[in-house]
Amino acid sequence: MHKITDSTKVEYIDYFFEVKIWDWEIINNEPDKCEELIFTDLNNLPENTIWYIKTTLNYKGNFIEMWF
């Protein structure tokens, strides 16, 4: 997802991957930036999931243009 913040006009690109098979432990190499990494069902996302992440995940596999 490509996004530009309104306040700072900084551009970001977020990448999303669909994982179907995973045999390894995920490691959080940036604990100062991220509390935890988890695999979860898309229909049961944690309450504190960022709103634009939830929106993006709802459009999985489909292109949609959104402005934030």
Domain boundaries, the chain: 1-19+42-68
DSSP designation for 60: T
Task: Quote the pTM value.
Answer: 0.54
pLDDT digit of tens for each residue in the chain (68 aa)? 666 767 777 887 877 777 788 788 889 999 998 888 888 888 888 998 888 888 888 776 665 555 55
Tell me how far apart the alpha carbons of residues 60 and 55 are, in angstroms, rounded to a whole number.
9
Query: What pLDDT does residue 30 have?
Result: 94
**Whether 38 contacts 54, CB under 8 Å:** no
Rounded CA-CA distance 21/35 in Å is 24
pLDDT of 5 reads 67
The pair of structure tokens assigned to 14 is: 């977020």
